[in-house]
Amino acid sequence: QKEVEQDPGPLSVPEGAIVSLNCTYSNSAFQYFMWYRQYSRKGPELLMYTYSSGNKEDGRFTAQVDKSSKYISLFIRDSQPSDSATYLCAMRTDSWGKFQFGAGTQVVVTP
């Protein structure tokens, strides 16, 4: 069993819809959680980070962490075609630990 599970998709949504992405994990020691966006053949771009349970909002993005369920989510409101990319969740046990990534979910936003 992988430490971090993420549905690979593809997830196809119409423009303007809410995109809902999630990851589950098995290691209860994970404390820091991040979401990255990766366009084809590019490096991952940091979108959101959090180190506590609850919600964090930044513009159209909301990150949610539920440590009791070992489950994190990313919501993208008012999705745009430019949001079409692969979204990666990543987590680490402390500020120095290695990041463990999910496999990434491919999102396609259709006009």
How is the beta sheet containing 54-58 ordered, strand by strand? 4-6, 19-25, 71-76, 61-66, 54-58
43, 68, 82, 111: residue in contact with another protein (rule CB under 8 A): 43
Question: Is residue 34 near another protein by the rule CB under 8 A?
Answer: yes
Does 42 bind another protein (CB under 8 A)? Our answer is yes
Q: Is 5 exposed, middle or buried (0-12, 13-18, 19+ CB in 10 A)?
A: middle
Question: Footprint of another protein on this chain (CB under 8 A)?
Answer: 4, 6, 8, 32, 34, 36, 41-46, 49, 51, 88, 90, 92, 95-104
